[in-house]
Amino acid sequence: MDSYSQAIKTLLQREALESESDEQLLCRADNKLNAILQEATADDSETVELIRAYAESDETNRRKLLAYCENFVDPTCRDELAAQGTQIVLHTYLQKNDLYKLIDFINIHRQDTAFGEAVYKLMDRHGMTAPQVYKNAMLRRQDFARATSFGGGYNVTKRVAWQIIIGLHCNIKEADKVLFSAGYLRRKNELDLIMEYFIDNKNYDIVAINAVLADLNLKEFPCYEAKRRGDLSIK
């Protein structure tokens, strides 16, 4: 076990890891959202329909809304707004009047930057090209193109989002923005903490990350490497 693996193993032992997966957390949040909507009165029927329509519009929007329902906290809310009470810091179902804060969240995020747009904005800021990013991430060009398509309709997995974040050489704040643009939050689980560690240490080597994942018996990222022009082969 190399020094990175040992340091990360120590980190994981020290952290209070979430016992539930992303999917389990979202399922629990979905139950919470349904309870909120079912408890609404007939006077709130229009509001309920607007919330349902947003949640069903696409998978990214659904994940964002459910992430908000987990603890009723908007991760994009600026600190100064949170101090004024814009955040909903509750761990129980919303009260009737707070139903409209879900609408506020939807109105704020209805025109959010899509995942592909967020990636290309960071590419411009970092002075990078698409080939540089997908080669750094060891992704196939076709997979990168699908994930970052401006047309939408492609459900970007969290692992692909992480690989592109590595390819972009993001700092942790940028990583959070890219993750959220795909509907994800950075959590206290093994993979997210490992990715955070590598980013904090400015190590963007996907092979090194996979070595640590292998050492810890965790699922590795699929890596593709160009063997010759026009040919990308899986490693």
Q: What is the pLDDT of residue 92?
A: 43
pLDDT of 235 over the 90 cut: no
* pLDDT averaged over every residue in the chain: 84
Ranges 84-93, 114-123, 148-157, most confident: 114-123
pLDDT of 15 over the 70 cut: yes
Q: What is the pLDDT of residue 226?
A: 58
Q: What is the pLDDT of residue 82?
A: 47
Q: What is the pLDDT of residue 1?
A: 57
- pTM (two decimals): 0.83
Beta strands in the chain (DSSP E): 224-228, 231-234
Work out the pLDDT band at 29, boundaries 50, 70, 90: confident
> If you average pLDDT over residues 157-185, what whole number do you get?
96
pLDDT of 88 over the 70 cut: no
Q: Which helix (H) or strand (E) holds 24?
A: helix 22-38
Let me know: does 72 contact 190? Beta carbons within 8 Å. no
* Sign of the dihedral defined by the CA atoms of residues 184, 156, 127, 137, in that order: positive
Tell me: the pLDDT tens digits for 124-157?
A: 999 999 999 999 999 999 999 999 997 666 789 9
Q: What is the pLDDT of residue 72?
A: 66
pLDDT of 90 over the 60 cut: no
